[in-house]
Amino acid sequence: MDSVALETLLLALGLVLSFLVAVSLGANDAAEPTDCAVGAGVISIRRAVILFAIFTAAGALTQGFMVMKTIGKGIVPEISIPGAFAAVLATFIWVSLVASRVGIDVSVTHTIVGAVLGYGLVAYGLHKLNLGVLMMTILSWVSSPLSSMFLAYVLYKLIVWILEKARVDVYSEGVEKTLSYFLIGSLAFSAYAFGANDIANATGVYVTIAERVGRMPDYTAMIALAAFGSAGIAIGGLTMGPRVIETMAFKITRLNVISGFAAELSNALVVYLFTTVPYILIGFGMPISTSLATAGSLIGVGLASGGRKGVNPDIVTKLATFWVLTVPVSATLSAAIYYAVITLMGMA
């Protein structure tokens, strides 16, 4: 098989894998916009994932390009067809064959960024990587969960304080019913923000390839990739998402309507702001870990409502272990796959 035929095969296989990563993204990360509403008991898992699919697609199609640009062009100068194949295969292995099998909500963002980094180190070397964007991305991984945790803690305390000052029973049926509508609205906003930030995890590595092979303008290529990825996310969320939703909604901390609303709104605001503000300022939206932002908001309301007893430390430790392992594992996998492919093609 000559190199052109092999590249064509890699492109086809890579796009299939990219779609499967999108399916895994829906399965693994559907919990992020829906866990609080489900955990608070205001909506069923089935209805929650339907809203997730609709609003995730809306966010991906309208603002997904902001982070796609970062994944596809921000960290490395350009991603080749073998490089994109290596990145999506490494991501698929870690997210679908390891994490989802054991019901752990790992960060797909960490996985794809690690995979792009592994490819970039082999293809370009450290000196040609955009270290500024890479460092900002890593800093955002630290600051985003801390921001969502702090915001959720403050928002929960503020809501309780306002209701108590107004001499309203915090847990009365009327208050809980009103807040349940706000919580469902926060779910929709959170799903929109998730789509805007996370669609790049599934299809961002193909931005420059779609422009070149499909002969499409930059923006058109990203919209097409967003639509392609959104279909996969919807399938994954609707068919396999409930298992992880149950883990995130019930096993990290117990939620009521007030804590659920505080956590969901905090998560949505953090994800949306990290997507939009950096793009406006520097031209690259930050591919933050929406998994970490979600967990941060849940821990924040857990601490606010029940102190340390409000948080399940065993689940948090297990999640943290997988998150720490993600970048080095995906980078190593991607680098090894890319090197094997270019060796096979006679390009090494």
Q: Tell me: the pLDDT tens digits for 53-72?
A: 999 999 999 999 999 999 99
Mean pLDDT of the chain: 88
Per-residue pLDDT tens for 259-268?
A: 888 988 999 9
Query: 256: Cβ–Cβ under 8 A, 6 or more apart, which residues?
Result: 40, 171, 176, 305
Q: How far apart are CA 197 and CA 186, in angstroms?
A: 16
Query: What is the pTM assigned to this prediction?
Result: 0.89
Per-residue pLDDT tens for 108-127?
A: 899 999 999 999 999 999 99
Sole residue written with tokens 């809980």: 176
| Residue 308: pLDDT band with limits 50, 70, 90 | low
Can you tell me the mean pLDDT for 123-132?
95
| Residue 248: pLDDT band with limits 50, 70, 90 | low
**Residue 52 pLDDT greater than 70, yes or no:** yes
**Residue 251 pLDDT greater than 80, yes or no:** no
pLDDT, position 77: 92
Per-residue pLDDT tens for 181-233?
A: 998 999 999 999 999 999 999 999 999 898 888 787 888 999 999 999 999 99
CB-side neighbour CA atoms (13 Å) of 126:
1
Alpha helices in the chain (DSSP H): 3-29, 31-39, 45-63, 65-69, 81-92, 108-123, 131-165, 173-203, 207-213, 218-250, 257-282, 290-306, 313-344
Sole residue written with tokens 């915090």: 170
| Residue 305: pLDDT band with limits 50, 70, 90 | confident
